[in-house]
Structure 1
Amino acid sequence: MTLFKNEFPILEFDDSGSSVIMPNHENLDLILPEKCVYGFLGDEIDEYALKNKAIKVSEFVSATKLYPVYVTKYKGYEICFSQAPVGSAAAAQFLDWLIAYGVREIISTGTCGCLVDIEESVFVIPTRALRDEGTSYHYMKPSRFVDIDKKAVGAIKDLFLERGINYIETTTWTTDGFYRETEAMVKYRVEEGCRVVEMECAALCALAKLRDVIWGEILFTADTLCDVENYDQRNWAEDTLSYALELAMDVVIKIRKEKKIK
């Protein structure tokens, strides 16, 4: 185990998997399914749970609210699913907790902003993320990019091919600064190959690598920063939320297929 020191604290990293406070420090009597959908989908998660009579098996307790954790059977597979909080730090904390209690194969889904001219509600498969946030640096040594798990990316591509869904494959810009996406920075990120921007991908990917689990993400375009002088939030892709959840469910059961529940 090595502690890598640096002049700048954000670039310091301890490669130990153990911490003073571990995600399962509560020692809950909880064993979650290996397959998990972790969605940035507004009220869609709770509405799906109610409609499909999913079982609420636990809650993640944060300082601001409780996040229900549901389990359901989907096409013969047991799946855990929950709403993810926005922002790398909060999203990683909750996902680390879910992993500590048993999840191993995770698909996230949520909206992203467009850095180039892309229509609303276009599906995007991120294959790597530019690490312009802080959380990933606590889970992984410093690097400019982090690559998304190939098993997860492959499962998403396979499903989209089966469904005839058009998609864009790209590098995503993960940022902590929603209100700091400046004109110069947007241009710079596009020059680096980023076509979309969001706030969690790099962190969740780095977390998954440290914990040795499979994680991938289905993004879909919402607002656009393509015209930096005329920002357009459009409709935040609200019509795509339920479909994205369905796709995430179908992708997660494609990963390392298990024996079906009878």
Structure 2
Amino acid sequence: MSIIKNEIPILEYDSTKQAVIMPNHENFDLELPRKAVFAFLGDAVDKYARNHGGEIVGWFESITKTYPIYKISYKGQELCLVQAPMGAPAAAQILDWLISYGVREIISGGSCGALENFKENEFLVPYRALRDEGTSYHYMAPSRYADVHPQARKAIEKTLCEHHLKYIEVMTWSTDGFYRETKEKVTYRKAEGCSVVEMECAALAACAEMRGAVWGELLYTADSLANIGAYDERNWGRDSVEYALELCMDAVLKIEMEG
């Protein structure tokens, strides 16, 4: 029996990779590029694809939105380019689907909330995520942290260096509860070493690891919770969106070279 049972359901884990509904259960005639950028960058993804000859090769249909799956040529290589939805369950569902149709090397990019005194629009590279969300527990046995693949981190960091950008490796707090980041919990997370907070890193790291894919993430600072008594939305890091997409595309090309 592959399932580990527990009184608390979220701590139960089934190690089998087969499920009743598999990501490729539709059996589409679809073979995606090996490399993909799966980015939490909103309309910038669609805008880039439209302006740079992106071809829609498929669709991911969800209850709330249908996501176009683009294939683009970037610096002589084919990439898959997809907008990522906010939240661990939705993001992991699409990532798992992409992997099932041929994607193997993925870089994500998106914003995070600063728990330390980071300026807005600073670039950060998470090496580990604290698993305070639910989705990762369906892909990885219970533990406190999920580690980000070192090969992907190395590719991101090399890209940042080539762009002459400073960066810091950070541990991030992945949480489902955007409106439940209480003062005491923020203080607690900071004390154990979390420098930023977001919603998906732990889940995507766990999903990619279980499926044998290489995944990493580039974060940029948006709002700030560093001063716990005075939340600051700032400008949500909007000045970094388009540049972050370019950096992600550069980084995903380097994963194979760094292998």
Q: Hey, which bits of structure 1, 4+ residues long, moved more than 2 A?
A: none
Whole-Å separation in 1 of the counterparts to 2:256 and 2:26 = 30
Deviation of the 1:226 alpha carbon: 1.1
In the other structure, the counterpart of 1:49 is 49
In the other structure, the counterpart of 1:70 is 70
Whole-Å separation in 1 of the counterparts to 2:94 and 2:52 = 23
In the other structure, the counterpart of 2:14 is 14
Q: What code does the residue aligned with 1:234 have?
A: R
Whole-Å separation in 2 of the counterparts to 1:146 and 1:93 = 18
Whole-Å separation in 2 of the counterparts to 1:179 and 1:98 = 30
Deviation of the 1:159 alpha carbon: 1.4
Structure 1 residues 92-241: aligned runs within 5 Å: 92-241=92-241
In the other structure, the counterpart of 1:3 is 3
Whole-Å separation in 2 of the counterparts to 1:34 and 1:53 = 19
Q: What code does the residue aligned with 1:257 have?
A: M
TM-score, structure 2 length as denominator? 0.98
Deviation of the 1:181 alpha carbon: 0.3
Secondary structure of the residue aligned to 1:157 is helix
Whole-Å separation in 2 of the counterparts to 1:120 and 1:239 = 9
Q: CA RMSD in A?
A: 1.0
**Is 1:61 aligned with 2:61?**
yes
Q: What code does the residue aligned with 1:91 have?
A: A
Whole-Å separation in 1 of the counterparts to 2:82 and 2:52 = 14
Secondary structure of the residue aligned to 1:119 is coil
Structure 2: segments with no counterpart, 5+ residues: none
Whole-Å separation in 2 of the counterparts to 1:196 and 1:47 = 28
In the other structure, the counterpart of 2:38 is 38
Q: What code does the residue aligned with 1:131 have?
A: R
Amino-acid identity (%): 57
Deviation of the 1:193 alpha carbon: 0.4
Whole-Å separation in 1 of the counterparts to 2:146 and 2:164 = 28
Whole-Å separation in 1 of the counterparts to 2:186 and 2:166 = 25
Q: What code does the residue aligned with 1:178 have?
A: F
- Aligned residues between the structures: 258
Deviation of the 1:11 alpha carbon: 0.3
Whole-Å separation in 2 of the counterparts to 1:178 and 1:152 = 27
Q: What code does the residue aligned with 2:203 have?
A: A
Deviation of the 1:179 alpha carbon: 0.1
Q: What code does the residue aligned with 2:78 have?
A: E
Whole-Å separation in 1 of the counterparts to 2:68 and 2:74 = 18
Deviation of the 1:257 alpha carbon: 3.5
In the other structure, the counterpart of 2:90 is 90
Whole-Å separation in 2 of the counterparts to 1:66 and 1:87 = 16
Q: What code does the residue aligned with 2:47 have?
A: E
Secondary structure of the residue aligned to 1:140 is coil
Q: What code does the residue aligned with 2:101 have?
A: Y
CA deviation map 1:116-168 (0-9, x unaligned): 11100000100000000000000000000111101001111111222221011
Secondary structure of the residue aligned to 2:128 is strand
Q: What code does the residue aligned with 2:253 have?
A: I
Whole-Å separation in 1 of the counterparts to 2:104 and 2:187 = 37
Q: What code does the residue aligned with 1:20 have?
A: V
Deviation of the 1:231 alpha carbon: 0.9
CA deviation map 1:71-95 (0-9, x unaligned): 0010011000110000000000011
Whole-Å separation in 2 of the counterparts to 1:28 and 1:161 = 39
Q: What code does the residue aligned with 1:84 have?
A: A
